[in-house]
A and B are shown apart, each in its own frame.
Chain A
């Protein structure tokens, strides 16, 4: 092969490599933008998981969280499981951000995905409690409504009750803060005052 032919081969090879590099930069093709963005969040009513099994052997506290009760607030919904490795990675970021915005009209909830309350309790003991309630989703009905592909996924719902952001895989504190600040700066729609269940573990 002469240098000239090698040069021609490189003219083919280099754009091919550039194409592949572009494919990498473009991001994951499987992540299609969620059709739920800017749409009203699917409402739900979920039982709050008890931090320890109650004396009568129940896994729930008896309280129920209804998303529509939080209109006028920012809600961060984090789907997670004890068997999911990235969930462990994002755990501290969620806990810190939740603490930072506790008194500023931002409500955090964890939603347990395909897991048992027992395993979740052990997980929370190991990782340090979340500092906000975890909700049980029997039969993954809410996960299906929200179009979950896996865990972790985190949704941020604005004061108007619309989903403003969906984050795949582990979230960072920076991602959460940026979006929450943006949503808090928006004017609040006229809405009924929310009632937050007083639960903490």
Chain B
């Protein structure tokens, strides 16, 4: 019964999406608004149907209905309720099903938010969302059908992958990542919509940039939560290993970051129009490439789902999208003609151009490293792996340059800088020099020293923008410092959201550099009541215990942690033994503090409790990586609240549609901007 409901829902989603695509073409050609309204209805319908299909699957997982193939594959009677729910995304078919839900949600959101728009651009955009939707629903109906029948019905299943049962972040990381990945479909749909309807004006740029910001925020959160999960679960003390799947999530993030910056150059200067559309298309294609890499089993990776024929479908889809987009870009070259030029090589535009070049080089490097094993095998028949040394050596100089640009950009004006602007760089430069000196004295290497210096530099320039702006308001309007700061941000959400995101990534950079440069790493074997000292910590092995839990057997070492004579914590690193898995899964014990993390993994133990082997690491500033990630998300959220310039530039609305109150408010806000900060007046 559940199988029937679920499968029909996916089948009807496909039908609704296919109808929507046909109706969009038909409606645009015949200029019939009633047909275009039915396109929006099709988008709502796919969302409703996907919701039904996903709920049906969750219900089947929770009630252990092993007659459904996906449940037989990842379910188990021993699996607790919460884990049963999130095993929706623990294997290929379920993850595609969940992907479909997120995509349908985005399609419905786009249709709903722009339901009053009457121009062709929105009709095509809705159509493109449904084209991508139709592809994923087709996968669910055919090659990756989660609702397959299993007969006879098994008594029990193996349960989800133990690694995915081990931490609450697994409930958070995939949905965030999917929102980011799938969210990138929306800017792509708008880009295609604008190109096809030849409406490549400011309007699409605003809309696209805002949707990109949203998807970027979630992609950032998804990547950072994935790093955090890997740190808390995998037990090697790190968070990023340049695994193909990690790279797959980084690639669209890089191109989307580039777009968020270069879109502003187009807005101010009328330049980079083709480049911007190309970035949006590339971002979308990279999300599909990433999905292909993780789901086709083409590369060896810790995360890879077991493959199957599904890869061919992705490949064909990717090919069609790539060739179609390129042809469209070529056919619309007139609309994308550059209308402006640079005034000065030391302007903010120039910094944005450099930022884009470096992000493009970064993307290319990561893509090359990820695909190189395939190239080597195709060309020379050898199996190679490209690991951390390659990626670190190639990308660290780029990353350090980006930190530098992040410091220069906010200090320079649009157009032509004056002596005043150069003077603004004196304080940040001194901070950079001091940071570098401290880093050298602490014994940091070249890249780490540059990292500290430029991070300090950029933190100062970005923070200075907040302080100077708030100070000006305080003096001019007599506001208290906190009120001045919050009103400053509210009046210029896009600009200060951007600076906030910068501060987030800079804080993260400090955490990354400090923890990779100054980590202490020791392996110790202790008998009962014996101690080992690592950094400021003394660890004493007190006890070892084992306990049967419903779905696993847990062994934990009980450790007392002292700083000097003071007992500061009791830590219990664990090993979890899952029934259907040969190898135990580690759960490291982590004591996080602002200045450093103490990270202990249980490596081995004697059954009689006579000894235990531990890996003890002290990682400075590591927690700032996660805090930086949260700040980035908040920054993108602040920037997202900016709705674009006053309505003057947008397409005229259809007659009879009133201008909404929100738009009027935005107009007033723009007025306040002018009073408080002259730089932000839209050109």
Residue numbers of A with Cβ under 8 A of B are 1-3, 5-7, 9-10, 13-14, 16-17, 19-24, 26, 28-30, 81-85, 88, 114, 119, 122-123, 126-127, 140
Determine how close the nearest CB of chain B comes to the CB of A166; give it in whole angstroms.
18
B374 within 8 A of A: yes
B312 within 8 A of A: yes
Q: Is the CB of B155 within 8 A of A119?
A: yes
Q: Is the CB of B323 within 8 A of A10?
A: yes
B172 within 8 A of A: no
Closest partner residue, chain B, to A6 (CB atom): B330
B side interface size, CB within 8 A: 44
Q: Is the CB of B326 within 8 A of A10?
A: yes
Q: For window 49-92 of chain B, which residues contact chain A by CB distance below 8 Å? A: 69, 72-73, 76
Q: Is the CB of A88 within 8 A of B326?
A: no
Partner of B333, one of A1, A10, A21, A23: A1
Inter-chain CA distance A22–B158, complex, in Å, is: 33
Partner of A85, one of B73, B76, B297, B299: B73
B315 within 8 A of A: yes
| Contact A20 B158, CB 8 Å, known A13-B322, A85-B73 | no
Q: Is the CB of B155 within 8 A of A17?
A: no
Inter-chain CA distance A5–B327, complex, in Å, is: 10
**Which residues of B lie under 8 Å from residue A5 when comparing CB positions?**
330
Inter-chain CA distance A16–B315, complex, in Å, is: 10
- The stretch that binds A, out of B196-204, B375-383, B434-442, is B375-383
Closest partner residue, chain A, to B318 (CB atom): A17
Determine how close the nearest CB of chain A comes to the CB of B539; give it in whole angstroms.
34
Partner of A20, one of B153, B298, B304: B298
Q: Is the CB of B323 within 8 A of A13?
A: yes
B417 within 8 A of A: no
Mark each residue of chain B from 272 to 301: 1 if its CB lies under 8 Å from any CB of chain A, else 0.
Answer: 001000100000000000001000111110
Closest partner residue, chain B, to A9 (CB atom): B326
Closest partner residue, chain A, to B273 (CB atom): A1
B371 within 8 A of A: yes
Q: Is the CB of B375 within 8 A of A30?
A: no
**Which residues of A lie under 8 Å from residue B72 when comparing CB positions?**
85
| Contact A23 B298, CB 8 Å, known A28-B307, A85-B69 | yes
Q: Is the CB of A23 within 8 A of B374?
A: yes
Partner of B150, one of A19, A24, A28, A85: A85
Q: Is the CB of B155 within 8 A of A82?
A: yes
Q: Is the CB of B330 within 8 A of A3?
A: yes
Inter-chain CA distance A81–B159, complex, in Å, is: 13
Q: Is the CB of B315 within 8 A of A140?
A: no
B582 within 8 A of A: yes
Q: Is the CB of A24 within 8 A of B315?
A: yes
Inter-chain CA distance A120–B579, complex, in Å, is: 16
Inter-chain CA distance A159–B360, complex, in Å, is: 60
B270 within 8 A of A: no
Q: Is the CB of B326 within 8 A of A29?
A: no
**Which residues of B lie under 8 Å from residue A1 when comparing CB positions?**
274, 278, 326, 329-330, 333, 336
Mark each residue of chain B from 561 to 604: 1 if its CB lies under 8 Å from any CB of chain A, else 0.
Answer: 00000000000000000011010000000000000000000000
Partner of B315, one of A17, A26, A122, A123: A17
Inter-chain CA distance A21–B66, complex, in Å, is: 34
**Which residues of B lie under 8 Å from residue A16 when comparing CB positions?**
371
Q: Is the CB of A20 within 8 A of B156?
A: no
Q: Is the CB of A29 within 8 A of B298?
A: yes
Closest partner residue, chain A, to B579 (CB atom): A114
| Contact A82 B154, CB 8 Å, known A13-B323, A13-B326, A24-B298 | yes
Closest partner residue, chain B, to A126 (CB atom): B152
Determine how close the nearest CB of chain A comes to the CB of B666; give it in whole angstroms.
34
Determine how close the nearest CB of chain B comes to the CB of A164; give it in whole angstroms.
24
**Which residues of A lie under 8 Å from residue B330 when comparing CB positions?**
1-3, 5-7
Determine how close the nearest CB of chain A comes to the CB of B335; give it in whole angstroms.
11
Closest partner residue, chain B, to A120 (CB atom): B155
**Which residues of B lie under 8 Å from residue A126 when comparing CB positions?**
152-153
Inter-chain CA distance A167–B316, complex, in Å, is: 29
**Which residues of A lie under 8 Å from residue B142 when comparing CB positions?**
none
What are 23 contact pairs spanning A and B, CB under 8 A? A1-B333, A2-B330, A6-B330, A9-B326, A10-B326, A13-B326, A17-B318, A17-B322, A20-B292, A20-B318, A22-B374, A23-B296, A23-B374, A24-B296, A29-B297, A29-B383, A30-B297, A30-B304, A83-B76, A83-B580, A85-B69, A126-B152, A127-B152
Q: 5 nearest interchain CB pairs? A: A6-B330, A126-B152, A23-B298, A1-B329, A3-B330
**Which residues of A lie under 8 Å from residue B154 when comparing CB positions?**
82-83, 85, 88, 123
B415 within 8 A of A: no
Q: Is the CB of A24 within 8 A of B312?
A: yes
Partner of A30, one of B300, B322, B329: B300
B319 within 8 A of A: yes
Inter-chain CA distance A84–B318, complex, in Å, is: 33
Determine how close the nearest CB of chain A comes to the CB of B301; give it in whole angstroms.
9
Determine how close the nearest CB of chain B comes to the CB of A188; give it in whole angstroms.
37
Inter-chain CA distance A23–B289, complex, in Å, is: 13
**Which residues of B lie under 8 Å from residue A22 when comparing CB positions?**
374, 378
Q: For window 308-363 of chain B, which residues contact chain A by CB distance below 8 Å? A: 311-312, 315, 318-319, 322-323, 326-327, 329-330, 333, 336
**Which residues of B lie under 8 Å from residue A20 when comparing CB positions?**
292, 298, 315, 318, 374
B157 within 8 A of A: yes
Closest partner residue, chain A, to B327 (CB atom): A6
Partner of B156, one of A6, A24, A30, A119: A119
**Which residues of A lie under 8 Å from residue B323 when comparing CB positions?**
10, 13
**Which residues of B lie under 8 Å from residue A29 when comparing CB positions?**
297-300, 383
Closest partner residue, chain A, to B153 (CB atom): A126
Q: For window 478-497 of chain B, which residues contact chain A by CB distance below 8 Å? A: none
Partner of B157, one of A13, A19, A83: A83
**Which residues of A lie under 8 Å from residue B69 when comparing CB positions?**
85
Inter-chain CA distance A22–B274, complex, in Å, is: 31
**Which residues of B lie under 8 Å from residue A23 when comparing CB positions?**
296, 298-299, 374, 377-378
Closest partner residue, chain A, to B274 (CB atom): A1
Most buried by B among A24, A26, A30: A24
